[in-house]
A and B are shown apart, each in its own frame.
Chain A
Amino acid sequence: MRGSLGKRLVIWGLVWVSLVTLSLPTLIVIGASFTAGEIIRFPPEGFSLRWYGELWQLDSFRAALARTFQVSLICTAVSLPVGTLAAIATVRYRIRFRNAVQVYLLLPFTIPLVVSGLSMMILFGEIRILGQLWPVGVALCIINLPFMIWSVAASVNAIDPEIENAAMNCGAPPLQTFLTVTLPAVMPGVITGGLLMFILAFNEFLVSLFLTDSRTVTLPVQIYNSIRSVITPDLAAVSVLYIAIALIAVVLLDRLVGLEIFLRSK
């Protein structure tokens, strides 16, 4: 009994230490963002939404936020079909060069982001698309695609390979089988991967730094630029914005996939 009490103390101790260390920075930033004072500090001086207001007044911030949304949407939109089809093809079908294709698709993950950023900057410069926004979205899709593929592949692995035969046995030609049975069955992975891609693109800094200029600067790069000048509490407000977006993604994930995942348990 005493042994079990000691074990419980240790386990709960570890749980609390982890919870606190994981959430403390977030809580501090949230607190700091509501300060009424001129500098970032914790505990905050007073309570106000002053810095949120100031942030919203900043045209450069609003424009960067809009661009970041745009880039993230492009990245997600490209990754959905590409990642889904690639995952289904490489996991499910005995296609030729399957292993090679798998390795090739996961390659971006193994290359340092600095290298990816630099090489894409050179390439985009050569083909004269540097300075536009959509190539940034495509670039972020390329570097993060392995996450999408992994997410969908997990779903593909979880489905019974016979359900496609079952659909054909029910009279569904191959395209109908794909649309009405295969795709819905891997939907949890597609949704998870899509949200992941959106969040990753929304946060991406290093490659974006290479690919953006003053006209196309995205929010993470914008934040980086402002840190280099003066650190004001509006940065804390931006951080809270990021936390809010991540939370929304988690809630969406739970709503859309949390239920779906239970579907596949037998």
Chain B
Amino acid sequence: MDTGSSKRMVEIAGVSKLFGTVAAVSDATLHVDRGDFLTVVGPSGCGKTTLLRMIAGFEHPDAGEIRIGGRRVDAVPPYRRSIGMVFQKLALFPHMTAAENVAYPLKMRRFAPAKIPGLVDEYLGLVRLGDFKDRRPHELSGGQQQRVAIARALVFSPDLLLLDEPLSALDRKLREDMQLEFRRIQQELGVTTINVTHDQREALVMSDRIVVMEGGVIQQADDPVSLYRQPGTPFVARFIGVTSMFPGRVTKETGEAVTVAAGEATLTARGGGAVLGAGAAVECAIRAEQIAIGPRDGAPRFENAVDGIVRQRIFEGERMVYAVEVPGLGGAVLNVFDHDPVSHSVYDETQPVRLEWAARDLIAFPAGPAPAVTTENKPTGSLTT
């Protein structure tokens, strides 16, 4: 199984899956390196779970191939794949104790019976559940059940660990604790991991690499910082982080920078990948934390400036969140974060303000039919779009 020489643990090439006539996943190609933590993120129905279930072997691809550890697994049933999985609803065996749940994969995979108790103790210790080994799942808290599920998925040293949104049911505090816990265990064991989530924050916090999916199509794959800095499509820009979008038209193109006419404003932007000639319709994206908010009579700080009116102000402690309507941009509402609400002025609703940002922070994407973002998957903290 272990080819040793290859650093690729998982290779997915041109994989498609149809449900009826709907393509749940189309032509997905990606790879995961040995020991990496990869997160597939996207709104519900984007195909990420189907992709994961094909890797686990519960679904069969209609096209393409999946290799794990260099071996093609299309015809390998799930119980012959060396994959540990933590399920969305955990799927612990209700009639077994924590220790029996963890021992189950060892028994099924024919480990020497003498070795089993030691391994069970070791992995229950790893997830800090040593004292709870004789409890049944219903006698454990949500977080403890998570830990049993993790131990069960890892105890047989699988080639690959799959996480199917196991944290989505937990409350926020516990979820954040468990994110760090997953990461700690994953790094301690060095197990290659594929995580699926709709939570962009979770993806950013936990991953070595992130794959963004939408409508069954992989939009972009990159490390978290690059993905955040250089979103490759308008969807990625909207889905990761809090980003405001507005339409415009290119009037001049000078190398990296483009001049964009948007409403009554003339702005300088950087092209988002594609070559943009003069006259091209574009969608402009600006992140909330890149916008500086100030009085209209202040000295200019950045290349781009528009005037607006505060429509909403939300104080979140470490930052102030504004929704600012900009009549000069066709009435677009821009989300603005002010990360220093202690020393900066505070602007109230209906107050006129000036928004400014650097040319390099405004990204111009070629305009196309924009895929709709469903409301439940709007980035957290977003006020309006």
Contacts and interface: CB of A to CB of B under 8 A. Distances in A.
Interface of A: 159-160, 162-163, 165-173, 176-177, 180-181, 184-185, 187, 260, 262-266
The 8 closest A-B pairs by CB, nearest first: A170-B105, A171-B108, A166-B91, A162-B91, A171-B109, A168-B78, A172-B108, A184-B95
B79 A169 contact: yes
Interface string B339-360: 0000000000000000000000
A197 B371 CA distance: 57
B89 A160 contact: yes
Contacts of B95: 184-185, 187, 260, 263
A165 B78 contact: yes
Contacts of B80: 171
Contacts of B83: 169
Interface residues of B, number: 27
B302 interface: no
A185 B93 CA distance: 8
Contact of B138 (A160, A185, A262): A262
B108 A185 contact: no
Given A162-B89, A162-B91, A263-B95, A170 B138 contact: no
A169 B155 CA distance: 12
Interface of B: 56-58, 77-80, 83-85, 87-89, 91-95, 104-105, 108-109, 136, 138, 152-153, 156
Contacts of B56: 165, 169
Contacts of B94: 159, 163, 185, 263-264
Contacts of B77: 168, 173
A181 B156 contact: no
Contacts of B153: 169
Contacts of A170: 79, 104-105, 108-109, 152, 156
Contacts of B108: 167, 170-172, 176
A263 B85 contact: no
Given A180-B104, A185-B95, 16 more contacts: A160-B89, A160-B91, A165-B91, A166-B87, A166-B93, A168-B79, A169-B85, A169-B153, A170-B105, A170-B156, A171-B108, A173-B77, A181-B93, A262-B138, A264-B94, A264-B138
A199 B91 CA distance: 35
B87 A167 contact: no
A172 B80 CA distance: 9
A180 B88 CA distance: 21
A171 B79 CA distance: 4
Contacts of A260: 95
B93 A167 contact: yes
Contact of A263 (B58, B138, B156): B138
B30 to A, nearest CB: 21
A204 B280 CA distance: 84
A163 B138 contact: no
B89 to A, nearest CB: 6
Nearest to B80: A171
Nearest to A158: B94
Contacts of B91: 160, 162-163, 165-166
Contact of A172 (B57, B79, B138, B156): B79
18 contacts: A162-B87, A163-B91, A163-B94, A166-B93, A167-B93, A168-B78, A169-B83, A169-B85, A170-B105, A171-B105, A171-B109, A172-B104, A173-B77, A176-B108, A187-B95, A260-B95, A262-B138, A264-B138
A166 B138 contact: no
Nearest to B53: A165
A171 B156 contact: yes
A160 to B, nearest CB: 5
Contacts of B136: 263
A173 B109 CA distance: 10
Nearest to B104: A170
Nearest to A169: B85
